[in-house]
Amino acid sequence: MLAVILALCSAACGGAADFVGGTASKRLSAFLVVLGNQFIGLVLIVGFIIAIGAWPGEWDFLWWAVGAGVTALVGLVAFYQALATGKMSVVAPIAALGAVVPVAWGLLTGDEPAMFQVVGILIALVGIVLASGPELEGGTGMRPLMLAVLAAVGFGSHMALLGEAAEVSALGTIMVMKASMVIPLLVLVTLVGRIATGLVLNRSTVALFVGLALLDLGANAFFTAAIQQGMLSIVAVLGSLYPVFTVLLARAIHGERLVGPQPFGVGAALAGVALIAAAG
């Protein structure tokens, strides 16, 4: 049960981060939002590790964590590019299917969920896709579709690799993962200076980046803690429920209506969680 609670906390933080980041991207470059968030997150986690004296004693997790950071970055870049050239209602549900990757990885590496949990996983996966607001009519170009698939693979691989690394060192994993995202972004800014054009580091912008960084760190911290308590195949699905929290926040704060299959998706996701928790 503890793993379920921690994974849901991870999803809540991730959903809130997506909501805040998506709102911020309406006035700032999405690239700058990601860079600011990840850079401050790296500074915070390094400072925290030094403050409590929890520097990793073993580095067996290193390459798993580097892989988690690189795949997360690939997923983010592909996702934003897909959103820029295609319909969100087509792109988001495809990207949400990335949850299938860590589920499959967990099952292949020895997870043995109970029958009720398997049913809950399947229902929750359907709920995640429906809550993302899939377009039931119309379509989009091939390039956004391929980018959305790449985003799904990136996000899914990120969770699988993060799960492997977290078994050794949760804090060390988050630190290395953040560094693996920040370093390529800083190199890119150095090579292509115009990317950072228009960035004004005033009090509100810094506060936004800090808030995003804390939510993102919370999502990662809860996820790694959940992995240490439960099976990857279950934790990954529950941690992937962030689209549900995003649409609920949009509904509560911006008054956005749940349209099309979204209400059914939220209901299915909650039903899946109930089955997983009941069997846990």
Which value, in Å, is the radius of gyration of the alpha carbons in the chain? Answer: 18
**What DSSP designation does 136 have?**
S
Tell me, yes or no, whether 252 lies in a domain. Answer: no
113 with 234: CB under 8 angstroms?
Answer: yes
3-state secondary structure of 161: helix
Residue 6 has a pLDDT of: 94
Q: Which residue has the tokens 């790449």?
A: 150
Total structural domains within the chain: 1
What pLDDT score does 175 carry? 94
Crossing angle for the helix pair 88-96 and 62-85, to the nearest 10 degrees: 160
Q: Is residue 230 part of a domain?
A: yes
The SS3 call for residue 1 is coil
Helix axes 170-191, 62-85, angle to 10 degrees: 50
For residue 145, the model assigns a pLDDT of: 83
pLDDT at 193: 61
Q: Which residues contact 110 (CB under 8 A, 6 or more apart)?
A: none
Residue 32 host element (H or E): helix 30-52
Q: Is residue 197 part of a domain?
A: yes
- pLDDT given at position 64: 94
Whether 202 maps to a domain, the answer reads yes
Output the six-digit token pair for 203: 């009090």
The answer to the question of residue 79 being in a domain is yes
The pTM score is: 0.84
Question: Is 96 within a domain?
Answer: yes
| Domain hosting residue 58, numbered range | 2-114+141-241
Q: In this structure, is residue 251 part of a structural domain?
A: no
Question: Which position has the token pair 């590019």?
Answer: 81
Q: How far is CA 194 from the centre of its chain?
A: 27
In a domain, 264, yes or no: no
CB 22 within 8 A of CB 243: no
Q: What is the pLDDT of residues 38-81, one digit of tens each?
A: 899 999 999 999 999 888 878 888 999 999 999 999 988 888 77
Sequence-separated (6 or more) residues with CB below 8 Å from residue 146: none
**pLDDT digit string (tens) for the chain, length 280 residues:** 788 899 999 999 988 888 887 777 667 776 777 888 889 999 999 999 999 988 887 888 899 999 999 999 998 888 877 876 777 667 777 888 888 898 889 888 888 888 888 888 899 888 888 887 776 555 557 888 888 889 899 999 999 999 889 888 889 999 999 999 999 888 887 776 655 555 566 777 788 889 989 999 999 999 999 988 888 888 989 988 888 888 888 888 878 777 778 888 888 888 888 888 876 5
Q: Quote the pLDDT of residue 5.
A: 92
* CA–CA dist 15, 241 (Å, integer): 8
